[in-house]
Chain A
């Protein structure tokens, strides 16, 4: 092989990935036929690429835990959610089904309408917590409220304090809003993070949990719910 014909690793990678111009690609093909060492290097490049693809063809699923404790957590709704999750799972695989988990029974049963609201609290600032509750109350009882209006409050990060029985200053208001069918969801990931730090987490009885608040927010936004970050 002449010195001019030495092919760099960058060129070999580009060749393997189909990133070279046609004439350059031809040149490498021709050289590889004349030079066993170059041919071996090209084979190695392809082998590495194939090994990486093979290694991530199937990846482990994340572990998820949900618990439903709220007023709408009846056996019927859990069963309906399970049936729906199974049906969607069969049709669309794990990633399609994972958003229809126990905690989202109401959404799974009822088609999304425009009168659906998701309020998201991620701060422990009591003023913002109160604002979230005021907003929920306004939506449920204020002008324009309709009987099919749905409101959920999702709490994660420091906002979890809103739904912790030992930290919330608003237990009574939460109870009153839950009686008006406002749903409350605490983020299980946030709970787990606190527990890892040795914090015992107890939620108010009205709180449901979802394995991830963000997943619930994304799911609702995709269903067309109006989202408000408080």
Chain B
């Protein structure tokens, strides 16, 4: 019984890992804006997750656990390259060129550029909340920071995005709710 349960757990874990690869990659890309590096980070994450799976006590918490490993892999990557990670001070290196802009959706490019300009600490919080819909408590666990810090980084990150983007959104006619309404 115990062995069978262990085997099932392993299978379930592998399925979870496979199902999460795309999500992990999108998150890694939103943090780095470098497809090759994002791919490396996801592979490193999967590798570490498989080696450490016995440490995962609650399979229900696997999602947040995987994203936490991903965040740690990014930190390790910067450390290995001797980049100083002081959270708010780290700014992403801009990699876009006009050629890229012509190939992809202009609004998406503009937003990515604004997200890339955020300090990494803000970028991670914004993307974990907005792209994955993680609760503030989960983000706090993933990044190992207090919930209050999650809230302040999110707020500052969104404020910076607003300053970068809203003028552009108005000109490009993006559909926005005209008024906030209660919806039952």
Chain A residues with CB below 8 A from B162, complex form? 44, 48
Query: Which of A78-86, A133-141, A163-171, A213-221 lies on the face that meets chain B?
Result: A213-221
A49 interface hit (Cβ, 8 Å)? yes
Chain A residues with CB below 8 A from B44, complex form? 214
With both chains docked as a complex, state the minimum distance between the C-beta of A5 and any C-beta of chain B, in angstroms: 15
A110 interface hit (Cβ, 8 Å)? no
Q: How far is the CA of A39 from the CA of B176 in the complex (A)?
A: 12
Q: Which of A47, A50, A54, A212 has the most CB of B within 10 A?
A: A47
Q: Which residue of A lies closest to B53 (CB)?
A: A221
CB-based contact B47/A14 at 8 Å: no
Q: How many contacts A-B (CB < 8 Å)? A: 133
What sequence of 0s and 1s flags, for each residue 105-138 of chain B, a beta carbon within 8 Å of any chain A beta carbon?
0011101100100000000001101110001100
Q: How far is the CA of A46 from the CA of B46 in the complex (A)?
A: 33
CB-based contact B115/A55 at 8 Å: yes
Task: Report, as a range, how many residues of chain B touch the other chain.
Answer: 35 or more
CB-based contact B39/A52 at 8 Å: no
Q: Which residue of B lies closest to A15 (CB)?
A: B180
Q: Is the interface of A mostly helix, strand, loop or mixed?
A: helix
A9 interface hit (Cβ, 8 Å)? yes
A19-64 residues at the B interface, CB under 8 angstroms: 19, 29, 32, 39, 42-64
Q: How far is the CA of A49 from the CA of B166 in the complex (A)?
A: 12
Chain B residues with CB below 8 A from A42, complex form? 180
What sequence of 0s and 1s flags, for each residue 53-96 of chain B, a beta carbon within 8 Å of any chain A beta carbon?
00000000000000000000000000000000000000000000
Q: Which residue of A lies closest to B181 (CB)?
A: A29
With both chains docked as a complex, state the minimum distance between the C-beta of B63 and any C-beta of chain A, in angstroms: 16
Chain B residues with CB below 8 A from A47, complex form? 166, 169, 174, 176-177
Chain A residues with CB below 8 A from B22, complex form? 93, 95
Chain A residues with CB below 8 A from B17, complex form? 218, 222
Q: How far is the CA of A179 from the CA of B130 in the complex (A)?
A: 53
Partner of B30, one of A29, A44, A56: A56
A4 interface hit (Cβ, 8 Å)? no
Q: How far is the CA of A8 from the CA of B152 in the complex (A)?
A: 10
CB-based contact A189/B111 at 8 Å: no
CB-based contact B158/A9 at 8 Å: yes
Partner of B130, one of A52, A63, A64, A214: A52
Chain A residues with CB below 8 A from B112, complex form? 55-56
Chain B residues with CB below 8 A from A176, complex form? none
Q: Which residue of A lies closest to B109 (CB)?
A: A55
CB-based contact B136/A52 at 8 Å: no
With both chains docked as a complex, state the minimum distance between the C-beta of A181 and any C-beta of chain B, in angstroms: 25
Q: Which residue of A lies closest to B178 (CB)?
A: A43
With both chains docked as a complex, state the minimum distance between the C-beta of A111 and any C-beta of chain B, in angstroms: 14
Apart from A43-B177, A62-B35, what 12 extra A-B contacts exist at CB < 8 Å? Answer: A10-B151, A19-B136, A32-B180, A42-B180, A43-B176, A51-B111, A55-B111, A56-B29, A59-B30, A95-B25, A214-B40, A221-B47
Task: Sample 9 A-B pairs with CB under 8 A, ordered by A number.
Answer: A29-B182, A48-B161, A52-B130, A53-B131, A57-B108, A62-B35, A212-B39, A218-B47, A221-B50
